[in-house]
Amino acid sequence: MWDTPVITTTLDQLDREALPAHVAIVMDGNGRWANQRDLPRTAGHEAGEEALFDVVDGAIDLGLRWLTIYAFSTENWRRPAGEVRFLLNFNRKILRGRVDELHERGVRVRFVGRRDRKLPPGVLKDMVAAEKKTASNAGLTINVAFNYGGRAEIVDAVRAIVASGVAPDDVDESLVAAHLYAPDVPDPDLVIRTSGEYRLSNFLIWEVAYSEMVFSDVLWPDFRREHLFGAIADFQRRSRRFGGVAAS
């Protein structure tokens, strides 16, 4: 773990041959950022947009292949109704305002999570449109975890397996993985959580079994590409053994 305000990194300080293939981010701290400034919580979410797209630009410049962001969880429905409405409309506004920009930069946008009746039809329509528009892009893929929960994902995978009539003895890890929301996406090499919290909050709990974790004290609206690069520099200093032992 490290303190992001102290350790930031520039692009040329990274080993471009040892990048994580997939970085996942829990974008936390918008509410606290707003509270510190005597602003409504929604102002923190608005400020987080600049952080998100600076990080996306950094990921593109770095040549990352996969980026997953935790945009709206299945638990977020428990927040005050006004904040939920704001988040849904705000994410829709970002989709409408930014998808052309992402498309021009060769970014593919995808969504992971439940597409159920909780989602307003307009939001779902814009999600599908963004996916279709960017489907053939070959640069960075951004997976937006929206109406997403790690436990819900596993439950949905198990339901699909049971419905397919698979015998219990034929169920293994590869079969479960094949029924997750995005089975073609590699597991995250690196998970970053901002705001000084040290938990996953139901994020990709199947996929992060061997991910490296970096926790930053920076609140999400203040997070920038230099902090992303700092987390990757930390990742590059670690030895990943996947349950084995380090080479002598």
The residue type of 175 is L
Q: Which of 57, 76, 156, 187 is catalytic?
A: 76
Let me know if 116 is a catalytic residue.
no
66, 23 Cβ separation under 8 angstroms: yes
User: Do the beta carbons of residue 131 and residue 109 sit within 8 Å?
Assistant: yes
Q: Which two tokens stand for residue 82?
A: 């006004």
Residue 76 appears among annotated catalytic residues: yes
Determine the Cα–Cα distance for residues 40 and 37; give it in Å rounded to an integer.
Answer: 9
Contact 11, 61 (CB under 8 A): yes
Query: For residue 145, how far is the Cα from the chain centroid?
Result: 6
111: which DSSP letter? Answer: E
Amino acid of residue 66: W
CA distance 193 to 214: 7
Cβ–Cβ < 8 Å for 118, 148: no
Catalytic residues: 28, 76
